[in-house]
Amino acid sequence: MTTPNNGDTVSIDYIIKKTDGTVVGNTSEAGPQDVQLGENQIFPQVEQALTGMSVGDEQSVTVPADNAFGQRRDDMIVDLPREQLPAEPAPQPGMQLQAQGPNGQPIVLTILEVGEQTVKADGNHPLAGEDITFDVTLREIKQAA
């Protein structure tokens, strides 16, 4: 029975679900995804589970919110002056904008409300505050050279 090691690339299928069972991601359309173990390409809890699996094994791994996308933060909800936004397309709730964070890193903002003078936007990741579960299947191990 062969299991993957650090440096190996594994091919996996997965379904990602929120605690309530809502599916928020999967490989059903794109096909199996390759992950190089030890390169921080996937959550550590999932990587750890993969290192104990053999080809064909399936496992469910829960990643707590604090180790996934963090807790929701009220300070990530901001009011933006409408004149700072492009005129077209007109801002609508649910629309996403890209902005620059204080450190220069890109932040995706989701518009919550549109007012006459301002737009309320949320910079939290959509899965912030959520524990997520990966139902992962190991499809292939490509051993490091």
98-118 confidence digits (pLDDT tens): 888 778 888 889 999 999 899
Which pLDDT does position 112 carry in this prediction? 95
The answer to whether residue 94 is domain-embedded is: yes
Task: For residue 4, tell me if it sits in a domain.
Answer: no
Instruction: Tell me the pLDDT tens digit for each residue of 7-21.
Output: 999 999 999 999 999
Q: Are residues 64 and 78 in the same domain?
A: no
pLDDT on residue 1: 62
86 assigned to some structural domain: yes
Residues 32, 46, single domain; the answer is: yes
Domain-located, residue 29: yes
Whether the model clears a pTM of 0.85, i.e. scores above it, the answer is no
Same domain for 13 and 46, yes or no, is yes
Tell me how many domains the chain contains.
Answer: 2
Cα 100 to Cα 82: distance, rounded to the nearest angstrom = 16
> If you search the block for the tokens 């549109």, which residue do you land on?
114
Residue 20 lies in a domain: yes
CA angle 45, 50, 54 (to 5 degrees): 155
Q: Are residues 19 and 51 in the same domain?
A: yes
Same structural domain, 27 and 55: yes
User: Which domain covers residue 45, as residue numbers?
Assistant: 9-69+128-142
For position 145, what pLDDT does the model report?
73
Rounded to whole angstroms, the Cα distance separating 118 from 125 reads: 21
Q: Residue 109: its pLDDT value, please?
A: 92
- Do 44 and 80 belong together in one domain? no
**How would you label 38-70 residue by residue, b for 16+ Cβ within 10 Å and e otherwise?**
eeeebbeebbebbeebeeeeeeebebebeebbe
The whole-number pLDDT of residue 84 equals 85
The CATH number of the domain where 35 resides is what? 3.10.50.40
Under-50 pLDDT residues of the chain: none
Decide: 27 and 16 in contact? Cβ < 8 Å. Answer: no
Based on the fold, state whether residues 65 and 13 are members of the same structural domain. Answer: yes
Residue 133, domain member (yes or no): yes
User: Do 79 and 63 reside in the same domain of the chain?
Assistant: no
> How many residues does the structure list for the chain?
145
Phi first, then psi: what are they for 134, rounded to 5°? Answer: -100, 120
